[in-house]
Amino acid sequence: MGRRSLAVVPWPDIGQWCLELHKSDGAAMERNMLRQDVSRTAVRTSADHRVPVTDRTPQEPPLRVSPGAEPAGPPDDVLQLLTPEGVRRSHADLDDWVADVGDDELAALYEDMVVVRRLDLEATALQRQGELGLWPPLLGQEAAQVGSARALRRDDFVFSSYRENAVAYCRGVDLTDLVRVWRGTTASGWDPFAVGMATPTIIIGAQTLHATGYAMGCVKDGADSVAVAYFGDGATSEGDVNEAMVFAATFRAPVVFFCQNNQFAISEPVGLVAVRPLADRAPGFGIPSLRVDGNDVLAVTAATRIALDRARRGEGPTFIEAVTYRRGPHTTSDDPTRYVDPAVAEEWCAKDPILRVERLLESRGRLTAELTAAVTEHADAAAAEMRRGCLGLEAPPPLSVFDHVYTAPTSWLERQKSQYAAYLAMFEEA
Ligand SMILES: Cc1ncc(C[n+]2csc(CCOP(=O)(O)OP(=O)(O)O)c2C)c(N)n1
């Protein structure tokens, strides 16, 4: 794949600047990126396209507050290669980045997405059957997760939140390990170093700091590995995420900020916290951003490759906003019917990430009976393996919950432990 430099160019419609690819003028881009004078100029700076902040303010769109505020079609600023109808669109700046994704590779991405959807549904069923305490479904976000995760190298490192189970699958996390924590049999799911992915962070946004720190370490090690932080739209309002972006920008850390804008932070619609696209925020930190159709596995792959390539070449962080939709509840404890507009949900069903790849494969004569049978068989086998593994997990001794709170026990903890032991003993006596 040819290497291309990047520059900031105007973002149509909203007068902002989005990151695009340019075959030349990498040095100018670098100057623009590094010498931003935010006191005088717009957040997305380009030597040719400077707009005083005061000029832009009156054009700000009104606060978007309706749930799932994204319109039915892709907004003009959302990069797309594959339409919901399964039509492959050409994009001069993206096509090269997925030139190696032929029909076989597309079928492999399709298989991944079908398998992770099946795993996700199986885990949801396990929770409903009382076998898991909780599960955070990813239904609808398969393309965002598979497309980005499959773009990574083995030596890259992922820092995620709780919903990135498709990313974990792509990293090679054992299927039983996916559900271990949610069954409550362990405090931590897997060995991060075996798969290049830290165990999920429940503290919203905190993993972005871990990713940035790790990326700074990669530079010190002289490695060209990249750290990828996955987080949601709600997380962008957390201080941690903003602090991570400050550090990443100033230290030019090789980190990709991958934001899955699934339209909701639990029940709060993204419009409540974002008066502009989330991707607009990053340039204010000196980080170029891409806004991509998160239900388009090809566009997500291209965007992630662009970001990874920048990071490996020492150009620092990139922010990707993958515009998608959470089709299920926030977790199995949530009831989205209380806040989701069914009409909007219906619109997003039509933009299903798997269906559009199916349609493309079909139009190319590749959606054969053999392929669908093999994919279904794989998905069912994976689900059965995860279920078997889940049911085979043994509950640890109750008092082991105190084991790893601190490296060495404290008197305070010992006291709690003995109180809990006395409490448990009451049941034995009874
Ligand atoms: C620091 C912190 N504050 C609040 C919470 C409670 N909480 C759990 S999930 C969530 C919403 C996160 O939404 P988003 O970042 O959009 O990710 P999504 O769940 O949609 O994937 C919140 C506020 C938390 N876990 N951590």
Give the atom of ligand 1 at the shortest distance from the alpha carbon of 326: 20
Residues 6+ apart with CB under 8 A from 423: none
Please indicate whether residue 330, judged by its CB atom, sits closer than 6 Å to ligand 1. Answer: yes
Instruction: Give, as one character, the DSSP assignment of residue 406.
Output: S
Structural domain contains residue 422: yes
Q: Could you tell me the distance, in angstroms and rounded to a whole number, from the CA of residue 205 to the centre of ligand 1?
A: 8
Nearest CA to ligand 1 atom 8: 204
Question: Do 224 and 343 share a domain, yes or no?
Answer: yes
Q: Could you tell me the distance, in angstroms and rounded to a whole number, from the CA of residue 234 to the centre of ligand 1?
A: 6
Most informative mutation of 138, 165, 201, 204 for ligand 1 (most atoms within 8 A of CB): 204
H helix runs in 222-317, sequence order:
239-250, 297-312
Phi-psi region at 15: left, alpha or beta (left = phi > 0; alpha = psi -120 to 50)? left
Question: Do 407 and 387 share a domain, yes or no?
Answer: no
Q: Could you tell me the distance, in angstroms and rounded to a whole number, from the CA of residue 262 to the centre of ligand 1?
A: 12
Q: Could you tell me the distance, in angstroms and rounded to a whole number, from the CA of residue 238 to the centre of ligand 1?
A: 9
**What are the catalytic residues?**
326, 330, 339
Contact 149, 167 (CB under 8 A): yes
Please indicate whether residue 202, judged by its CB atom, sits closer than 6 Å to ligand 1. Answer: yes
Give the atom of ligand 1 at the shortest distance from the alpha carbon of 240: 1
pTM: 0.84
Question: Do 272 and 412 share a domain, yes or no?
Answer: no
CA dist 303 and 320 (Å) reads 7
Question: Do 235 and 331 share a domain, yes or no?
Answer: yes
Structural domain contains residue 421: yes
Short-list 198, 235, 208, CA closest to 317: 208
Please indicate whether residue 163, judged by its CB atom, sits closer than 6 Å to ligand 1. Answer: yes
Q: Which domain, by its residues, includes 157?
A: 63-391
Residue-wise pLDDT tens digits, 327-363:
999 999 999 999 999 999 999 999 999 999 999 999 9
Structural domain contains residue 24: no
Structural domain contains residue 1: no
What is residue 77's predicted lDDT score, i.e. its pLDDT? 82
Question: Do 135 and 212 share a domain, yes or no?
Answer: yes
Helix, strand or coil, per DSSP, at residue 224? coil
What is residue 404's predicted lDDT score, i.e. its pLDDT? 87
Residues 6+ apart with CB under 8 A from 301: 97, 98, 101, 109, 147, 148, 150, 151
What is residue 74's predicted lDDT score, i.e. its pLDDT? 56
Structural domain contains residue 126: yes
Please indicate whether residue 134, judged by its CB atom, sits closer than 6 Å to ligand 1. Answer: no
Question: Do 221 and 341 share a domain, yes or no?
Answer: yes
What is residue 31's predicted lDDT score, i.e. its pLDDT? 33
Q: Which amino acid appears at position 394 of this protein?
A: E
Structural domain contains residue 139: yes
Question: Do 160 and 300 share a domain, yes or no?
Answer: yes
Q: What is the CATH number of the domain that holds 192?
A: 3.40.50.970
Question: Do 342 and 405 share a domain, yes or no?
Answer: no
Indicate the angle between helix axes 175-183 and 369-391, nearest 10 degrees: 40
Domain count, the chain: 2
Q: Could you tell me the distance, in angstroms and rounded to a whole number, from the CA of residue 11 to the centre of ligand 1?
A: 30
What is residue 181's predicted lDDT score, i.e. its pLDDT? 96
Short-list 398, 389, 395, 390, CA closest to 416: 398
Question: Do 417 and 353 share a domain, yes or no?
Answer: no
Q: Compute CA distances 56 → 17, 41, 76, 277, 290, whole Å.
A: 12, 10, 19, 15, 20
Contact 302, 151 (CB under 8 A): no
Structural domain contains residue 51: no
Q: Could you tell me the distance, in angstroms and rounded to a whole number, from the CA of residue 235 to the centre of ligand 1?
A: 6
Nearest CA to ligand 1 atom 11: 265
Question: Do 420 and 368 share a domain, yes or no?
Answer: no
Please indicate whether residue 233, judged by its CB atom, sits closer than 6 Å to ligand 1. Answer: yes
What is residue 188's predicted lDDT score, i.e. its pLDDT? 86
Nearest CA to ligand 1 atom 25: 203
Structural domain contains residue 362: yes
Question: Do 313 and 379 share a domain, yes or no?
Answer: yes
pLDDT in tens, the chain (430 residues): 333 334 333 333 322 333 333 333 333 333 333 322 222 222 232 222 222 222 333 333 333 333 344 444 456 689 999 999 999 999 999 999 999 999 999 999 999 999 999 999 999 999 999 999 999 999 999 999 999 999 999 999 999 999 999 999 999 999 999 999 999 999 888 999 999 999 999 999 999 999 999 999 999 999 999 999 999 999 999 999 999 999 999 999 999 999 999 999 999 999 999 999 999 999 999 999 999 999 999 999 999 999 999 999 999 999 999 999 999 999 999 999 999 999 999 999 999 999 999 999 999 999 999 999 999 999 999 999 999 999 999 999 999 999 889 999 899 999 999 999 999 999 988 7
Question: Do 369 and 403 share a domain, yes or no?
Answer: no
